[in-house]
Amino acid sequence: MSELYKQLAEDGNKCGDTRYCTVIATAVVFDKSYEDANDYLKLHAKRPHRSGPSWENFEKAIRKLAIAKGYNYKSYTRNEIRTMAIGKTMTVGNCLRYLNPKKRYVIGVRGHALSYKDGKIQDWTSGRRHRINKIFEVEVPEDDRGVEVEIPHTGKSFFNTLKAL
C-alpha cells in the first residue's frame, strides 16, 4: 500500500466514513484531499454517506471533473480492456504491464474502485488477482501536474465553483 492511500484511508476513517474507495480513487487521480473528493462525489455522483455511488453516476462525475479541468478522458469497456491486454484477462496484479505510467486511471473491479498513478496501484488490492471490469483513463497535461486550480477573479476553489454549476 502506498503512503498516499494510507493517508486518504485514515482521513476517511476520521470522518467516520466507510466504503470510500470511490472517494480515494477520485482524490488520487485528481490530486485532491479526501474532503474535497467526498464533497464532489456527494454532489455529482449522488454518493450517500457511508456508501458508494452507482457506477453510472460515478463515471459521469469522473468524466465531468476531467473535462472541467481540461484533462483528456476515455472510458474502456470489458472488451476493450481484453484487447488492451492482448486477449488476456487484465487483473489488478498484471495491469502494470498494460497501462501507461504517464497516465492516471480509475479502475473498477466487482464492488470496488481503485486508482493507478505514477506507475503504481494506489490501493490495498495491489498485486491481487481481481479482474478489471472498467477503466477510466485520465490524461493530465504535463504542465498541469500537481497544480491547484483557482478560478480567476473570484478566489473560489475549483470544487466550490463546480458546486455552483
For 148-163, the pLDDT digits (tens) are: 444 444 445 555 655 5
CB 27 within 8 A of CB 147: no
Question: What is the average pLDDT score of the chain?
Answer: 85
Q: State yes or no: pLDDT of 49 exceeds 60.
A: yes
Nearest C-alpha neighbor of 6 from the set 145, 118, 126, 100: 126
Q: Going by DSSP bridges, is the β-strand pair 112-117/104-109 parallel, antiparallel, or unpaired? A: antiparallel
Residue-wise pLDDT tens digits, 129-146: 899 999 999 998 876 655
User: Cβ atoms within 10 A of the Cβ of 141, count?
Assistant: 11
Checking 159-162 for CB contacts under 8 A at 24+ apart, the result is 159/32, 159/36, 159/39, 159/40, 162/40, 162/43, 162/44, 162/64, 162/65, 162/68
pTM of the model: 0.80
* Fold classified for 3-164: Cathepsin B; Chain A (3.90.70)
Q: Cα 56 vs. chain centroid, distance in angstroms?
A: 14
Terminus-to-terminus CA distance in the chain, angstroms? Answer: 36
